[in-house]
Every structure is written in structure tokens, then in C-alpha cells.
Amino acid sequence: MNSTPISNYINTLFPQFEPALRTKLIEEVTIKHFKAGEHLMQTGQYFRSTVLIVEGRVKLYREGTDGNEFFMYYLQPGEACALSMICAAKQESSKIMGKAIEDSTILMVPIALMDDLMKQYPSWYYFVMETYRARFEELLQVIDGIAFNGLDERLSFYLQKQAEQLETNQLNLTHQEIASDLNSSREVISRLLKKMEQKGEIKLFRNYIELKK
């Protein structure tokens, strides 16, 4: 079990927070660990805290009545879940699912603090506003991809985005994982990946996909 102190996470990942805010968070937040595949949030759940990601990677998605997933975006260390902030502040239940796709560590900020943090600490206010803006832009990209781009373009953009976020050209993604994120079938994704390989854009291996620079 990772024993990194909360203070190290906050001071390292959130240097934009003013010292008084960092001190406040160190005193008030709690830490939780999630194994890969575990859910942080589920549809219908009420939030007692909003979450700050400090280790790992979390996938946010909608789940249909038939069990299909609609991928929204990923959260990485130093980022917060805007939807958990909104639901926590308004005491509404979650409309989304959140799942750790790697072993992840989360800082839980109690909802009782939210109003005071917004009023008393300018850096928290701007962090929340930037979180809303960033997540909104990511959702716009998803909508644009569905409305204006073919699946081949969406697949290419998805792989490039993954490479940027993970800072590697070798992506440990299965064809089924990609299909779920893009709301397609494994067969269709496999066919499009093969076409990308034939064009020299990627190289397919048994356990990973390599993007060509």
C-alpha cells in the first residue's frame, strides 16, 4: 500500500494552491486507494466528497440500459472530477460511472468544505473554474467527433490523445477496450486499426499498439 503523505501529494500536484489552502486541505481531506477495475462512482450514487486524482488514471463514462458504455474522458494526477463537484455541491446523484483503469489514489474533499473553499481561497475558485472549462472542452471534442467525424477519424484522434496523456507511443490497449470507449464493435475497430497499420500510421503487436511519429 502506498504510504505517501497527503501533504506530499498536495504540495507536488497542486502547487498553484496558496499555502493556506494547502494547509487546509492537508488537515481536512482523506485518502482512498482503488484497485484497477474498481468503481469510484456509479450511476445513482450521492457524493459526500469531491475527488482529486493523485495517482493512477480514472475513466469517466455513461452506461446505457443495455450495459453499453459511452466514453467521456479520463482523469489523471493533478485533476479533479468536475461532475463530482457539481453533484456534491447540489446534492444530486451521479449520472455517470467512474472506474480506475490503473491502481489509483484519490483525495476526498468533504462537500461541507466546498462553499468555504470557494469563498475563502481564490486559487481553489480558479481551480474549480478551470476544471469545469477543461472537462467541457473534452466533452465538446467527443460531441464533435460523433457529429462531424467518421469513426476512422475518431479512432485516430483517440489514439493520439491517449499517447499525449500517457506520454508514450506504446499503448497497452485491447481492441475491445477501444471499441467500448468509441461505442463501436471490436471487429470494426480491428479492421480500422489494420488499415492504419497498412498506411504506416501505427504498428500492431500482440499486447500493445505503437503509434508512428
Single out the residue of 172, 167, 176, 179 nearest to residue 208, CA to CA: 172
Question: Per-domain residue ranges for the chain?
Answer: 8-146, 150-211
pLDDT tens across 28-61, in order? 999 999 999 999 988 888 888 889 999 999 999 8
- Going by pLDDT thresholds of 50, 70 and 90, the confidence category of residue 73 is confident
What value does the mean pLDDT take over residues 157-162?
Answer: 90
Cα–Cα distances in angstroms (integers) from residue 19 to residues 24, 122, 132, 166, in the given order: 9, 12, 23, 29
Q: Interhelix angle for 151-166 vs 122-148, to 10°?
A: 150
Tell the CATH topology of 8-146: Jelly Rolls (2.60.120)
pLDDT tens across 164-200, in order? 888 889 999 999 989 988 888 899 999 999 999 999 9
What value does the mean pLDDT take over residues 121-145?
Answer: 89
Cα–Cα distances in angstroms (integers) from residue 129 to residues 82, 116, 135, 160, 195, in the given order: 9, 15, 10, 26, 41
pLDDT tens across 98-108, in order? 999 999 999 99
Cα–Cα distances in angstroms (integers) from residue 53 to residues 81, 84, 114, 179, in the given order: 8, 12, 17, 25
C-alpha cell at 147: 457529429
Instruction: List, as one string, the DSSP characters of 109-130.
Output: EEGGGHHHHHHH-HHHHHHHHH
Right CATH for 150-211 from 1.10.10.10, 1.25.40.10, 2.40.50.140, 1.10.540.10: 1.10.10.10
